[in-house]
Amino acid sequence: MSIVLQFIQLDILQTDKWLTPQFTIDSDQGLNEYFEEQGYQSMFTAINLGSTFIFSFMLLTLFLVYPLISMLGKRSTFLEKVEKYLREKLFWESSIRFVIQQFQPLLISALINLYSLQFDTAVTKLSTLLAISTLLILGLSLYKMLNLIHTQSPCSPLTDGLNTNSLIGRYWLPITLAKWSILITALVTLRNYPALQLMIIAILLVVSQVLMIVGRPQDSRVENMISLFNEGMASVYLYGQYTLSESMGRNEVKEEIGAVLLGMVIFTISVNVVKVLVQSMMMINWRKLKSVCFKKSQDKVIKLKPTITEQPLDQQSTVINATFEDAFSQPPLKAVSIAPANSIDKLQRLYQNHRQMRY
């Protein structure tokens, strides 16, 4: 399930080819140019979500079908196994993981749709209902996460990679979702007030950095340092963007500042990529890999090339005499010794001489 969720944002179902044309309205357009560049080219939730809409519908269908399977599971062993599997996954691991990974597109699409609440066609009615339902489900999901953490029965998506010994670490995921909610709401509702948006984002960054320093939410020191580094670079980038705004007046070094900001982005991405590579290298058990390679080298079969040695002529004559005497005295099918392979010609000549001398 987690692997599938990572590819939902890539629109692996290619909904733009078969779903979007069914919901497209001639007068439909994005909220503004910025959101259109980010992929939100419509005012309706179903179109903006793409593959997320299909997977949301599938997940909702499983929740609706679960009570029926639970009742029929008492009469069928197979359905009982299916009911047990769904109970373990739906409540609440897979559903919470889905909400966490798709929280931002779900919230953005729903908020955008609120600016176009229409009930004149089936498409607009469906999108409006979907937008309102999405906001309610996201709110209930956040409450459920807080409840699971408070009752000390959280599922793995709420604790993976977090420092559960710290209060801030235990509640770090709901805190992050709350931060995203404030940020997305500011971006959508205050899109015509960039100065106010910058103030809200700056406050969120400062609060997030303070919580990271005090609470150490990640279970690894390296992860805490990288997270704090990313937040710091985001703050510097934000202040750099502020110097490029019109409220700062004429700026003669805009190109230089833009180049510096681009370099900061590339540097930040490079640091995170190097961190991932180093962690991947550390996960490899080099000692075990070395022992396996050494064992394979020991198991190799070494083929030895036979060496051919020549014996002196007198020793060959003695061997030949003994060989023929034993051959006539021993019963048949008895193995006898022979001379080296490279002395066949010499053996033939000696054998003829031996017969002449004997007879």
At residue 284, what are phi and psi to the nearest 5 degrees? -75, 130
Question: Using CA atoms, how far apart are residues 321 and 13, in angstroms rounded to an integer?
Answer: 89
- The 10s digit of each residue's pLDDT in 269-286 is 999 999 889 888 887 766
Highest mean pLDDT among 79-88, 194-203, 262-271, 285-294: 262-271
Q: How confident is the model at residue 6 (pLDDT cuts 50, 70, 90)?
A: very low
3-state SS, residue 299: coil
Q: How confident is the model at residue 11 (pLDDT cuts 50, 70, 90)?
A: low
Strand partners, 218: 162
- Cβ–Cβ < 8 Å for 145, 173: yes
pLDDT at 40: 86
3-state SS, residue 218: strand
Q: How confident is the model at residue 348 (pLDDT cuts 50, 70, 90)?
A: low
Question: Using CA atoms, how far apart are residues 73 and 77, in angstroms rounded to an integer?
Answer: 7
- The 10s digit of each residue's pLDDT in 35-81 is 888 878 888 888 888 888 888 888 888 888 888 888 888 888 888 88
Report the candidate in 282, 278, 202 with the shortest Cα–Cα distance to residue 245: 202
3-state SS, residue 162: strand
CB burial string 225-235: b at 16+ within 10 A, e below: ebbbeebebbb
Q: Copy the structure tokens of residue 42.
A: 């419509």
Q: Copy the structure tokens of residue 168.
A: 């801030």
pLDDT at 118: 80
At residue 98, what are phi and psi to the nearest 5 degrees? -65, -45
Q: What is the largest CA-CA distance in the chain?
A: 128
3-state SS, residue 1: coil
- The 10s digit of each residue's pLDDT in 284-298 is 766 666 666 666 665
- Cβ atoms within 10 Å, residue 119: 9
Amino acid at 351: Y
- The 10s digit of each residue's pLDDT in 146-168 is 988 888 777 778 888 888 888 99
What DSSP state is assigned to residue 336? -
Question: Using CA atoms, how far apart are residues 179 and 176, in angstroms rounded to an integer?
Answer: 5
What DSSP state is assigned to residue 341? G
- Cβ atoms within 10 Å, residue 151: 8
Q: Answer whether residue 300 shows pLDDT above 80.
A: no
Question: Using CA atoms, how far apart are residues 351 and 315, in angstroms rounded to an integer?
Answer: 14
- Cβ–Cβ < 8 Å for 188, 181: no
CB burial string 183-201: b at 16+ within 10 A, e below: bbebbbeeeeeeeebbebb
